[in-house]
Amino acid sequence: MQRNLLEQSVLSGLINDMADSLSKRDRSALMARVKGKGNRSTEKVVEKTLKALGIKGWQKHPKNVFGKPDFYFKRERLALFVDGCFWHACPHCGRLPKSRPLFWLTKIHGNRRRDYRVRRTLRKEGIQTIRIWEHELNNAQWLKRLCSRLRDCRP
């Protein structure tokens, strides 16, 4: 994978690992109280759109499909992932927090490596993948891509 601008900035020293105003213990306690919600809001947009358009034959987070895609179209063998721009380092609008940039760079890079591994494994299993960025949900282009892919994947 090519290094993106954020990685280059950190590695070249343009972004320094700044000190945290909280102690390590206090920061840990604070973060432990934050409960993850996944990417519910983005998934809800996609789910509502699929239902409104009468697009059927999909399942959310199927346990029997590697990587548990956000939506899986069994008949078409198509896995749909809705990626948050921050968590998956969107090249269009991804950003790195100013606090602890090395930590976040490592975390986000790990997410991208996992995404690549999941996509490669699914392709080997004969399952096509499509990824939609969070910011793409603001226009209908993602829906056109999905419908086109569904038509192309029909048996």
DSSP 72: E
pLDDT the model gives residue 66: 96
Q: In this model, does residue 5 exceed pLDDT 60?
A: no
CATH code of domain 5-153: 3.40.960.10
Count of Cβ atoms closer than 10 Å to residue 41 Cβ:
12
Domain residue spans of the chain: 5-153
pLDDT at 3 over 90: no
pLDDT at 20: 65
Mean predicted lDDT score pLDDT of the chain: 82
Are the CB atoms for 82 and 132 separated by under 8 Å? yes
pLDDT score of 34: 66
Q: How far apart are CA 153 and CA 155, in angstroms?
A: 6
Q: What is the pLDDT of residue 126?
A: 96
For the stretch 8-61, pLDDT in tens is 544 444 444 455 677 888 877 777 776 555 556 888 899 999 999 999 999 999
79-34-21 Cα angle (round to 5):
125
